[in-house]
A and B are shown apart, each in its own frame.
Chain A
Amino acid sequence: MSATDEHAELLPTASARRTWAVLGDGVRRSGWGTPLSLVVVLAGSAVGLVAPWTLGVMVDDITDGAGLDAVLRAAVTIAAAALAGGLFTGLGAWLVTRAGERVLARLRERVMDRVLHMPAAQVERVRIGDLLARVGDDVAVVTTGIARNGPDVVIALAMVLSTAAGMTALDWRLGLAGLCALPVYVWAARWYLPISGPYYARERIAMGERSHAMMGALRGRSAVRAYRREEEHEGRVSDRSLAAMDITVSVFRLLTRFGSRLNAAECVGLTMVLVTGFWLARGDLVTVGAVTAAALYFHRLFGPMMFLVMNFNEVQSAGASLARLAGVVDLPEVAEPEHAREPQDGSVRVKGVGHRYGPDTPPALDRVSLEIAPGERVALVGASGAGKSTLAAVVTGLRVPDTGEVHLGGVPLADLGERLLRGHVYLVSQETHVFAGTLLEDLRLARPEAGAAEAEEALERVGALAWVRALPEGLDTVVGEGGHALTAEQAQHLALARMVLADPPVAVLDEATAEAGSAGARRLERASLAATEGRTTLVVAHRLTQAQAADRVVVMDRGRVVEQGPHERLVAAGGRYADLWRSWQGSA
């Protein structure tokens, strides 16, 4: 079983009804495009009826001893129908794809919008893998479903409809005979649909676990070798591969049984048409040609019906992905307060804040109070798990504490609203992410309207301009996933430069400078001092030199503030911080 954090929760999946509603909403918004495309596709498939019909007429004409002109007339009619059919089919396929793609584009944009604007508390709760799967895999599955199969599905459906109409037009009894296949199709579908769904779901899970095992083993190759766990991992890959294979084979068995039932439907329909045609022709109610046309019509349906059925799993999985996307669309939006108040200054006030991550875990924050004056630089010091990062998250509004209040510039966080809050306080976190794209685009995320000159200014301020200029294409170098790889230090530099561009009054820094190595750490410390100059700054100190450079040091232990004061005073006072400082210096 794939391991998941039990604190994490899955995003909602919409019900079938709700999924249709979301889809219908998209179709309505797309205006005339959808109905027009359907009309054209129907016209195309109706034109497709001309050829068999004409062949039937030709059969009658020949039987009645008509001349060459009848044959030529038939051939010309079919040729004309060919041209018209080609036109309508091509146009229809394009229109259907266009309509589908438009609906889809709007849907994926809405999904992305909702995901990006999820309330901070929810982001902490949901599994990042789930989010990635929705905006990545699900969107891709639905896109493929619409782009590759969408037109074919619509065209096949239109063909079924128009053919049924055509047979009825030949003679209502022939149409009725063809309809005899319908109950068999329905019987097959009612057998298949309910049992296949869970199989496909299981297959997807099994395939996911298979690739997990493979990726885990290959990405961790050197650890696997160091611990001599090659056989264990190979065995896991093999087991999961076999499990997935078994499911795939049994799903397929089910599909072939379904296929046989559909062959039965074809057989019943075709036989009924021929038998009915036989009696009608015997009674001179229809001509032999009409029976021929009806049989050819029915035979023409084999392809589209099979196509619809054999691609059902793709339609089904596109449907499942669609439901997962619709579930995201229905996520609640972050409510902006009705009367948002602008913060008065850069002050920060934390009052009696307490927070726990779980009911039976010790408190991460225990009645913490802290006031930071505008422009003041405060460093948080403490062991892992002392609550430093939690406090940083609470101050930035990314975590809502169980108890207590946080005021920024004299305004409670709740009254600020997301927009004002994000313009006011900026977090540089331990997590570094270099966004894929050019370096300039990465920087512009912090301030979209910034130009290259401003970006360079920001880089200059944090001392990063030199290495950026040395990159193959300077600011236009593609970085991030698949691009030029930046070092840990460069990524952190970039994060600081983004903050300079955003220019927030309050800066919260929780960076891991150590990854950059000792020389890099020193450069980064200088960079972050430069980047936060003139801002109210809360630093989670990973190095004590960061604490030394602060106006005030706040020492935390097990969620509480245990000491605070300027560096020199704390060192002189001989408490915990003094011990720490001595041991740090002694060891150094």
Chain B
Amino acid sequence: MFKGGRAPRPGRDGRVSTPVPPDVRALSRRTLSRNRRDVACATVLHSLHQLAEALVPVAIGVTIDQAVATGDPGALALCVLGMVVLFTVLALAYRTGARFSVRAVENEAHLLRVEAARRALDPRGERSGLRAGELLSVATSDAEQASLYVRAWVGLIAMGTAITATTVALLAIDVPLGIGVLVGVPLMMFLLRFPAARITRRSEAKQATAAGATALATDLVGGLRVLMGMGARTAAADRYRRASGQALTASVSAAASNGVYRGMVSAAGVLFLAAVAAVAGWMALRGRLSIGELITVVGLAQFLAEPVQGLGIVGQVFATSRASARRLVRLLTAPAAVAPGGRPVHAEPVVALEGVSYRTLRGVDLTLAPGETVGVLATDPRDAEALLDLLSGRAVPEEVEAGRAAVGGVPVHELDLAALRTAVLVEEHGATLFEGTLRTNLATGTDRGEEHLHEALRAAAAEDLVSGHSLGLDRPVADRAANLSGGQRQRAALARALAADPPVLVLHDPTTAVDAVTEEAIARGLARARADRAPAGATLVVASSPALLARADRVVVLEEGRVRALGTHTDLVRGDSGYAEAVLR
């Protein structure tokens, strides 16, 4: 019943668009409705399973009463048959029910994960206010936690069914006794919750100490090469040993409080059993209960603790899944950062900033025509960031206080976003390379042939990445290019930008991780590559490197958000002592 069958599976098509749920309730409702088949089957089967579990002690009681006590072989045969049937139902109900619920949970987690990723990657950006790290945890762990809503729901109904069934069975045997058990078990569980909550809080705090030791370990190993250079490996090992010792003390004392709780739960359970046994035994003496009923009552009283405890867990799952759902909804419903228009980009995309005041920028003018190279020296990194935001179409129009940024005569926010990003490529400082190979990374921005990629690598003085490796262009690139050195990463990112060969290329500090000799080579290669483009490309380089700025047609000096000076590098070096101070090194 599990293989094949259902086609098409929900979620196979990652692009199915569902309306964004406006709040947690809507998200939860959608969770149930889009997995309704699986949820319905799981609920019915889990309830059936709980019923069967509740019937096991009843079946034992009946067998003792009807067969063992009487010595009637016919009754025994019937009882054995009943037992086999009961277990078959129990096993099948669990097996299929659990499969339905796990499929619903996994499918929902998948859909939420993909939805969160899609929202986070939306070209228009989002204003959820979540930081990068938080975003990652929303798309991973919160998507998983929120999907547990399905499990909580199924559990709630199944446990409820079990409690109802037990209630009916107990009341059928003896009404006062049944009521006593039904009040006693939840009361006991309720009373145990108080110490449990306190102990959970305390032990969570202690677990945090243990997590701290693990964090220290990964931090030290992350800096292992630095430690080696420092000769500080023994000092690091000592520090870890201390942290590990503290974690040990904390977990042992957490274990002590857990032990107390465990002991209480165990003692309370058996004490309750003693009470039930005393009352039921007394009733059996008086002839109000048969021996079999006595055993059944004791068995059911013991069994009842399970679903009642289960309900407590279900409550916790509801709470955690709601908290995660809240964070997911915050991301999913976040408004887009920008509302781009649909206008195309002019064939000759002249970039023009006219008196723009945005964030730290104050009335900045700047033009960049095809074939030109303009350098920007920004003494405040925030000015550079603001400039890049404007050119990449990330800047929120309402935040632009004055002036306008236009490409090909059209204000940036009126342009079609994809067209803008095709025309203007902003390669940021420290831009990420992706997991894959060098080739897949370089080909990110182009579908031209291999020779084109080699040319881009040459221009970025990054040929050694290919020649120094037996796999050449197919050398693997790990997540965040962890297997490349800082200089290699920077040159590969530059090669990627050059391979994309956009009409307008914006680079931010592209040579900070390379040495003077290589920087010189890159400045030459970059100028040649952009000039060779047909039609000639426009290039904006935000940097403080004299090698790069010397090759610009003019350099714009930004200070305190304003254009303080404008001229060629040579003129500025001669005539502007502040400029010379900033770039000479």
Contacts and interface: CB of A to CB of B under 8 A. Distances in A.
Contacts, number: 534
Given A140-B214, A429-B225, A504-B231, A226 B251 contact: no
B113 A116 contact: no
Contacts of B444: 227, 229
B410 interface: no
A94 B258 contact: yes
Interface in B33-75: 56-57, 60, 63-64, 67-69, 71, 73
A423 B231 contact: yes
Task: Pick the most buried of A264, A361, A429, A518: most chain B CB atoms within 10 A of its CB.
Answer: A518
A180 interface: no
B91 A278 contact: no
Interface string A59-77: 1001100011011101110
Interface string B5-37: 000000110100000000000000000000000
Listed residue (B90, B121, B476) with the most chain A CB atoms within 10 angstroms of its CB:
B121
Interface of B is mostly: helix
Contact of A446 (B120, B232, B244): B232
A281 interface: yes
A299 interface: yes
B428 A123 contact: no
The prevalent SS among residues of A at the interface is helix
Contacts of B240: 109, 112, 116
B131 to A, nearest CB: 11
B255 interface: yes
Contacts of B113: 214, 237, 241
A587 interface: yes
A159 B479 CA distance: 47
Interface stretch (B180-188, B345-353, B400-408, B508-516): B508-516
B233 to A, nearest CB: 5
Contact of B520 (A85, A97, A444, A587): A587
Nearest to B496: A227
A68 B281 CA distance: 8
Contacts of A521: 585
Contact of A71 (B285, B298, B496): B285
Nearest to A117: B233
Nearest to B520: A583
B255 A97 contact: yes
Measured as residues with beta carbon below 8 angstroms from the partner, the interface class of chain A is: 35 or more
Interface residues of B, number: 178
Contacts of B468: 357, 361-362, 385
Interface stretch (B100-108, B166-174, B322-330): B100-108
Interface in A352-375: 357-358, 360-362
A266 B291 contact: no
B175 interface: no
Nearest to A447: B235
A256 B233 contact: no
A221 B121 contact: yes
B238 interface: yes
Nearest to A393: B229
B426 interface: yes
A74 B60 contact: no
B230 A113 contact: no
B478 A226 contact: no
A89 B263 contact: yes
B566 interface: no
A214 B71 CA distance: 66
Given A93-B259, A274-B67, A381 B252 contact: no
A252 B98 contact: yes
Contacts of A81: 270
A68 B279 CA distance: 10
Given A59-B291, A260-B92, A542 B515 contact: yes
Interface string A535-549: 000001111110000
A271 B76 CA distance: 10
Contacts of B57: 299
Nearest to B491: A384
Contacts of A113: 237, 241
B319 interface: no
Contact of A230 (B106, B123, B435, B573): B123
B251 A101 contact: yes
A462 to B, nearest CB: 15
Given A112-B237, A588-B583, 6 more contacts: A2-B478, A86-B263, A225-B123, A239-B14, A249-B102, A431-B223
Counting from the closest, the 7 A-B pairs by CB-CB distance are A90-B263, A86-B267, A422-B231, A220-B432, A427-B229, A94-B259, A433-B223
29 contacts: A4-B478, A59-B294, A62-B291, A75-B281, A87-B267, A92-B259, A129-B479, A132-B222, A220-B432, A222-B432, A223-B434, A225-B125, A233-B434, A238-B114, A245-B11, A257-B95, A274-B60, A274-B67, A274-B80, A277-B68, A278-B67, A278-B71, A291-B68, A295-B63, A422-B230, A426-B229, A429-B226, A481-B219, A584-B516
